[in-house]
Structure 1
Amino acid sequence: MRFGYSPRCLDHDTGPRHPETPDRVRAIREGLKRKHGVEYVDADPATMDEITAVHETDYIEELKEFCANGGGDWDPDTTAVEESWDAICKSAGLSQWAAESALDGEQGRDTPFAIGRPPGHHAVYDDAMGFCFVNNVAVAAKYALEERDLDGVAIVDWDVHHGNGTQDIFYDDGDVFFSSIHEDGLYPGTGDHDETGEGDGEGATMNVSLPAGAGTADYEAVFERCLEPAIERFDPDLLLVSAGFDAHRHDPISRMRVSTEGYALFTDRLRSLCDRVDMPIAFVLEGGYGLDVLADGVAIVHETFDGRQPIDPDEDVSDDVLACIDEVREIHGLGEK
């Protein structure tokens, strides 16, 4: 894979004991040292116009001034320093690079993965939250729609937390299909099954809120029975993955039971979907706070595109997850399966 990376993203200093630390990206790069076919690419930062295409201008101007004045705690979870503004713009720009590279045909072993930080999927239209200031995947999707004249973009968010910011930005936009699979009741407490979009975006948001303890087989069943048929029906021109790795069984801030091998399976399913419908794919880093398992998760995505075949899980889908799947399929008119 080709990884979008900039040392500027390390300058976003969140302080001691904060889970969203520069060491996350350092750990990813350390883990990739042992892998073949890894290439790093820098990219231009996103411009103010590109960022305000998905965020309120007053909020972004306030955020820029906040950083220029030395930063501090925007809220109890979300902190910045003076250098954070450049990291924020660079992280969004790396996500744009990933989308553009995918659309330019960089697939297979050259599939792009932006490993910028701070992450973005909790950043709503007019505010920062949950470690996130600018919604990187939203900036990338909007950029692709406008600059490449696409008819539609799909976003799959497999972070353990609901991508409430991405949902907020595109909730009434029929050009973006947003799907999130996340732990029920976890921060930020949104993402119920009946949140499906409104106006032009009605039906273009799919939330699958799973009970704590869901594992690899449970997630894979959701991909197979909910996300994939819904994306095929939407027929987008680009698939973006909000790739958080905090549903891993050893992540310190979630209760899910996904294995490292699970991320290989999810990657393979989405790659196969894109091959079937001739659609490019790109990845954008979100969460993941156990450094070893984060590094292993990103590495297994790379290995999957490098030719490694994933191993199917030796476990059954739980009855609770099957009930979730049935409910989501009914809400979205996917029939019985």
Structure 2
Amino acid sequence: MKFGYSEACLAHDTGKRHPETPDRLRAIRQALTRKHGVEYINPAPATESEVTAVHDAGYVAEFREFCAGGGGNWDPDTVAVEETWDAALQSAGLSCWSAEQALAGDDGRNTPFALGRPPGHHAVGDDAMGFCFFNNAAVAAQSVIDKGEAERVAIFDWDVHHGNGTQDIFYDDENVFYASIHEEGLYPGTGEIQEVGEGDGEGTTLNVPLPAGSGDPEYRTTFDELVAPAVTAFDPDLLLVSAGFDAHRHDPISRMRVSTEGYGMLTAHVREVTDEVDSALGFVLEGGYGLDTLSDGVAVVHEVFDGMEPVVPEEEADEDVLESVSEVRSSHPLLDSV
């Protein structure tokens, strides 16, 4: 794979006890040194106009001034220093690079993966939250649409937390489809089945909250039965994966049971869907707070594109998850006729 990476993202210093640390990127780089076929690209940061295409200009100015004044705690979880402004622009720029390279034809072993931080999917249009300042995937999706490089973009979020910011930004937008599989009841408490979009965007949001303890069989079934047919029905030019690895069974801040092999399985299934609909495919890093599980997760995504065939679990999903899948399939505007 081609990995977008910049040392500027290491300068976003959240402090010794914060889970979203520069060591996350260092651990990923270290794990990837043991893999072949890895290429690193250092693209330009996002422009302020690209950021304000999805974020309120007043909020962006306030965040810039906050960092210029030395930063601090934006909220109890979301921390900035002076360098965070440049890191956030760079992280958004890495995501734009992933989208643009995918649309330019990079696929297979050249599939792009943006390794940026701070992460993005909790950042709403006019505020930072949940470790996130700019919504990287949203900036990338809107940027390629505004440039005429894509008409329709899908974002699939497999982070354990619901990407409330991505959903909010595109909730009434018919050109961006957002799908999330996440742990039910976890921060930020959004992402209910009934949240499907509104206005022109009705049907362009798909939420599948799974109970704590869900693992590879539940993710396989949910993706195959809901996300894949919905993406197929939407027929995007580009699919971006908001790739968080905190649903891993050994991640310190979630209760899910996805294995490293399970992330490989999800990657293979995503690739199959994009091949079927002839969509470009790019990845954007979100969460993941166990350094070993995060780095192993990114590495297994790379390995799938390098020829590894992940094992598909034979177990059936739990009955309550099957019932939820049936409920979503029968009620969602994109799925009720599929």
TM-score, L = length of structure 1: 0.99
In structure 1, the partner of 2:234 is 234
Q: Aligned partners of 1:196, 1:312: CA distance in 2, in Å?
A: 29
Misfit runs of 4+, over 3 Å: none
Match of 1:306 in 2: 306
Q: Residue 315 of structure 1 corresponds to which residue in structure 2? A: 315
Once the two structures are superposed, residues 1-56 of structure 1 have per-residue CA deviations (whole angstroms, 9 ceiling, x without a partner) of 00000000000000011000000000000000000000000011111100000000
1:273 alignment counterpart: 273
Query: d(CA) in 1 for partners of 2:212 and 2:302?
Result: 27
Counterpart of 2:203?
203
Structure 2 SS opposite 1:100:
helix
Cα distance in 2 between the residues matched to 1:243 and 1:65: 30
Aligned AA for 2:303? E
- 1:150 deviates by 2.1
SS at match of 2:203: coil
Please name the residue that 2:158 is paired with.
158
1:256-282 Cα offsets, whole Å, 9 max, x none, are: 000000000000001011111111100
Q: CA deviation at 1:315?
A: 2.2
Kindly provide the amino acid, as one letter, of the partner of residue 184 in structure 1: E
Q: Contact 2:103–2:149 (CA<8 Å) still a contact in 1? A: no
Q: Give the equivalent residue in structure 2 for 1:52.
A: 52
Query: RMSD of aligned C-alpha atoms?
Result: 1.0
* Distance in 1 (alpha carbons) for counterparts of 2:149 and 2:109: 26
Report deviation, 1:302. 0.1
The number of residues matched between the two structures is 337
Rounded to whole Å, the distance in 2 between the matches of 1:88 and 1:256 is 28
Deviation digits for residues 76-106 of structure 1, max 9, x if unmatched? 0000000110000000000000000000100
Distance 2:49 2:147 in 1: 13
Distance 1:268 1:306 in 2: 11
Q: Equivalent residue for 1:29?
A: 29
Any gaps of 5 or more consecutive residues in structure 1?
Answer: none
In structure 2, the CA distance between the partners of 1:336 and 1:153, relative to structure 1 (3 Å rule), is closer
Code of the residue aligned with 1:99 in structure 2: it is A
d(CA) in 2 for partners of 1:249 and 1:315? 17
SS in 1 for 2:132: coil
The sequence identity of aligned pairs, in percent, is: 65
Question: 2: distance between equivalents of 1:149 and 1:14?
Answer: 35
Q: Separation in 1 of the partners of 2:331 and 2:151? A: 24
CA distance in structure 2 between the partners assigned to 1:323 and 1:329 by the alignment: 10
- Please report how far the alpha carbon of residue 335 of structure 1 lies from its aligned counterpart in structure 2 after TM superposition: 4.3
Would the aligned equivalents of 1:326 and 1:336 in 2 still touch at CA under 8 Å?
A: no
Distance 2:133 2:91 in 1: 10
The alpha carbon displacement at 1:144 in A equals 1.0
Alignment of 1:248-287 (within 5 A): 248-287=248-287
* TM superposition shift of 1:323: 1.1
